[in-house]
Structure 1
Amino acid sequence: MLKGINQWCYPEDTSLENVFRYSKEAGFDAVELNLYKPGGIGLTLDTSAKEAEAIKKLAESYDIELRSLSTGLLWEAPLSSNDASTRERGRTIVKKQLELASVMGMDTVLVVPGIVDEKTSYADCYQNSQAELRLLSEFAEQLGVHIGIENVWNKFLLSPLEMKRYVDELNSDLIGVYFDAGNVLQFGYPEQWIRILGKQIRKVHVKDFRRSVGNITGFVPLLAGDVNWKEVMTALHEIGYNDTVTAEIPSYSISSYDLAHDTSRHMDVIFNCLLTTERA
């Protein structure tokens, strides 16, 4: 497996060169970039193919792989919206992700499929998002880039059986799951999700969570929460997953350089937990 870190783990004003440099010095193999609004650092909705190629070359100069692309923009333009213009904006965002991923040699983009709220019922979220993803799957197939549906705190796809069915119904080899181990801990067990989703999993995020907190502030550094990492790694090995595992945790209030090193060491423990036994 490749050890990756998301750009979000660093403060917003961190240059891409420093993101790549800090990550490489900490021992990471890959960095997951994000798509931002115009004016953001790195990839944005205005980034040209030429600019994207330059960013890829910068990553290569640090021997960093770019294997996936995430974004937070779909929270503002969900594919599940009952408003057609909002869904169109969301579709445009995902298309930009796919285009940039194709140019940069990334094989997967992370997509939050929709949001259930007072204005969008669960049924509407299911139907609207699937309709949009069917349209986007055609574009993904043209480019050969996978869409990874993330399990996230959006009040949607709350069980692994439902997520598996949701993806199966889309009937596309280019649509799978971007699985986040920490995100399911409030209402499930990540190892169970992994075994049920199996080959649908395209990429994996890792973060940790304390159930006793029970809200968004319960997300903590790796190894400080309740994820059973030995079981998670056992499940990943069982399904034959051998791709990128990317840390996605909040940045430190100071010293992003130390965050990278701490997280890298924590991931080494996670990767090696099947090879070691607890000291007596």
Structure 2
Amino acid sequence: MRKAVNDWAFRRFWPLERWMAEAREAGFTAVECNAGPEPESYLKPGMTGGELDAVRRSADEAGVEIASLSTAQLNEWRLTSGSRDERAKSENLIRFMIEAAHRLGARTVLVVPGMVTPDTGYDEAYARAMDSLRRLAAEASAAGVVIGVENVPGNRFLLSPLEFRRFIDEADSPALRVYLDIGNVLPLGFPEQWIRLMAGRLAAVQAKDMREGAGALPLLAGDVNWPAVAAALKETGFAGTVTATPPAFLHYPRQVMRDTASQLAAILVE
């Protein structure tokens, strides 16, 4: 399994090149870049091929692989929205991520599948997400990229591991897999059980710790049973990337990077 780190908590401290270099020095062999319109984002929709090539050169120089791309924007632009314009924005952002991933050599793009709301029924959300993701998966397959669908309990959608697995199987595409957020499982069940139920369907894993009433916490500080998670990953033969996503912090980014790397290393050695 490859150890990776997401840029979200670090990008306000360092430019891209420094973040990648710090990640490698801490012991990570891969990174995950967020795509979005925020000023501090390393990847912005509309970047040219030349700009993306420069990002890849930075990774090569730092000695890290860009394993995956993610975005927070899909919680605002939803594939399940009743608005065609909003769904189009969401699909176009995912298309940018697919194209960028292909150019950057990344294997996976993380996609939030949508949300159930007072105006969007569960059945409508399911049908819209399925329709969009089937079409996008065909484009991802052509680009040699996999879409990893993330579990987000606060979105009230795909809440059961059996339902989530059925959704992936019904899509019937090797380019549409599960991007399992370990911490996000806790409000609904036990991560090690989800891992076993998703065997053969995992594109990537996000390592995040949580505690009820406290939200996201540093690895090993929450309620995740990490030895059971590590055992389930090995038992099911998962050989992909495990990406740490530390919560927001105010100071000492180098120490947070090193702590996160050592915590993830301890988990994966179990």
TM over 0.5, yes or no?
yes
Amino acid at match of 1:160: P
Alpha-carbon contact 1:4-1:30 (below 8 Å) kept = yes
Q: Over the residues paired in the alignment, what is the CA RMSD in angstroms? A: 1.2
Offset from partner CA, 1:51-97 (integer Å, 9 cap, x none): 11111111110101101100111111100001111111100000000
**Partners in 2 of 1:12 and 1:164 — Cα distance?**
36
**Partners in 2 of 1:264 and 1:13 — Cα distance?**
18
- Structure 1 unaligned segments of length 5 or more: list them: 274-280
Alpha-carbon contact 2:11-2:41 (below 8 Å) kept = no
**Partners in 1 of 2:138 and 2:215 — Cα distance?**
38
Percent sequence identity over aligned pairs: 39
Give 1:218 deviation, angstroms. Answer: 2.1
More displaced stretch, 14-23 vs 171-180? 14-23
**Partners in 1 of 2:189 and 2:225 — Cα distance?**
12
Alpha-carbon contact 1:147-1:174 (below 8 Å) kept = yes
**Partners in 1 of 2:247 and 2:141 — Cα distance?**
33
More displaced stretch, 93-102 vs 45-54? 45-54
Alignment of 1:26-65 (within 5 A): 26-37=26-37, 39-65=39-65
Alpha-carbon contact 2:13-2:253 (below 8 Å) kept = no
Aligned to 1:75: 75
Give 1:149 deviation, angstroms. Answer: 0.2
Give 1:202 deviation, angstroms. Answer: 0.4
Q: What SS does the corresponding residue of 2:184 show, helix, strand or coil?
A: coil
Alpha-carbon contact 1:11-1:251 (below 8 Å) kept = no
Q: What SS does the corresponding residue of 1:231 show, helix, strand or coil?
A: helix
Q: What SS does the corresponding residue of 1:8 show, helix, strand or coil?
A: coil
Alpha-carbon contact 1:16-1:41 (below 8 Å) kept = no
Alpha-carbon contact 1:13-1:41 (below 8 Å) kept = no
Give 1:220 deviation, angstroms. Answer: 0.7
**Partners in 2 of 1:37 and 1:13 — Cα distance?**
17
Q: What SS does the corresponding residue of 1:219 show, helix, strand or coil?
A: strand
**Partners in 1 of 2:222 and 2:247 — Cα distance?**
14
Q: What SS does the corresponding residue of 1:156 show, helix, strand or coil?
A: coil
Alignment of 1:53-132 (within 5 A): 53-132=53-132
Q: What SS does the corresponding residue of 1:260 show, helix, strand or coil?
A: helix
Residue 264 of structure 2 is aligned to residue 263 of structure 1: no
Give 1:21 deviation, angstroms. Answer: 1.6
Amino acid at match of 2:173: S
Aligned to 1:277: none
Alpha-carbon contact 2:110-2:150 (below 8 Å) kept = yes
Q: What SS does the corresponding residue of 1:235 show, helix, strand or coil?
A: helix
Give 1:41 deviation, angstroms. Answer: 3.2
Equivalent residue in structure 1 for 2:221, among 224, 228, 247:
224
Residue 247 of structure 2 is aligned to residue 247 of structure 1: no
**Partners in 1 of 2:54 and 2:204 — Cα distance?**
25
Note closer, same or farther for the CA distance 1:256–1:44 as it changes in structure 2 (3 Å cut): same
The TM-score with structure 2 as length reference comes to 0.96
Q: What SS does the corresponding residue of 1:67 show, helix, strand or coil?
A: strand
Q: What SS does the corresponding residue of 1:199 show, helix, strand or coil?
A: coil
Give 1:13 deviation, angstroms. Answer: 4.9
Amino acid at match of 2:105: G
Q: What SS does the corresponding residue of 2:243 show, helix, strand or coil?
A: strand
Q: What SS does the corresponding residue of 1:245 show, helix, strand or coil?
A: strand
Alignment of 1:209-220 (within 5 A): 209-211=210-212, 213=213, 217-220=214-217
Aligned to 2:2: 2
Give 1:251 deviation, angstroms. Answer: 2.8
Alpha-carbon contact 2:11-2:19 (below 8 Å) kept = no
Give 1:10 deviation, angstroms. Answer: 1.1
**Partners in 2 of 1:230 and 1:177 — Cα distance?**
21
Alpha-carbon contact 1:251-1:259 (below 8 Å) kept = no
Give 1:253 deviation, angstroms. Answer: 1.1
